[in-house]
């Protein structure tokens, strides 16, 4: 029996823009598998050292890629991570960069308990559109899309748009 082909989707963007919220709902609606890279690294202790400045472990990118490669080859995975140039280009059929206005993002990150330099740096990351530029360098421009992520209405619209894209992709590839 041949499995239906399913696309791989990357959800990326500055911490706090809403990747996890969108990714989990998307997985429910599409039946694709949601993978949070932060959780995966934590579970498998896929770390390589410790960042003293940001007080967090450093991802072992090679081991993360090895860990996921087989599943990505099969397809049907939604990947959630605040970076994107560590993954092989061939993994993804589409890349969504979520974007949030900086005042909103500031509040969300404050609510998450971020303070000081960590808070400032993350808001600046969004202002400078660092992740969008990273995505445009790492992937073909045609597959990189920005999604506004400021309100519950944005979330609904993004869900609808990505669900539709997924259905269309499956029609075209099966």
Cα separations in angstroms, 10 against 54, 80, 93, 166: 25, 6, 8, 12
The site map against ligand ADP for 106-135 (x = CB under 6 A) is --x---------------------------
Taking the C-alpha atoms of residue 63 and residue 97, their distance in angstroms, rounded to an integer, is 24
Region 6-25 residues binding ligand ADP, contact defined as CB under 6 A: 13, 15-21
Q: How many chain residues bind ligand ADP (CB under 6 A)?
A: 15
Of 40, 122, 145, 30, residue with least CA distance to 86: 40
- 20 near Mg ion (CB under 5 A): yes
- 78 near ligand ADP (CB under 6 A): no
Taking the C-alpha atoms of residue 138 and residue 161, their distance in angstroms, rounded to an integer, is 23
Binding site as annotated, residues for ATP: 16, 18-21, 112
Contact set with ligand ADP (CB under 6 A):
13, 15-21, 108, 149-152, 154-155
């Amino acid at each position: 029996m041949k499995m239906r082909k399913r696309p791989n989707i990357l959800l990326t963007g500055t911490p706090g823009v809403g990747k996890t919220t969108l990714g989990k709902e998307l997985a429910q609606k599409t039946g694709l598998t949601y993978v949070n890279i932060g959780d995966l690294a934590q579970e498998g202790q896929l770390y390589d050292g410790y960042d003293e400045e940001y007080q967090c472990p450093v991802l072992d990118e090679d081991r993360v890629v090895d860990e996921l490669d087989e599943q990505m080859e099969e397809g049907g995975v939604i990947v959630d991570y605040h970076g994107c140039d560590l993954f092989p280009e061939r993994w993804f059929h589409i890349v969504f960069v979520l974007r949030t206005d900086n005042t909103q993002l500031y509040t969300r990150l404050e609510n998450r308990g971020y303070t000081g330099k960590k808070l400032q740096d993350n808001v600046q990351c969004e202002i400078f559109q660092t992740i969008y530029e990273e995505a445009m360098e790492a992937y073909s421009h045609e597959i990189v899309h920005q999604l506004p992520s400021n309100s519950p209405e944005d979330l609904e619209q993004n869900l609808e748009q990505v669900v539709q894209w997924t259905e269309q992709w499956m029609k075209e590839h099966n």
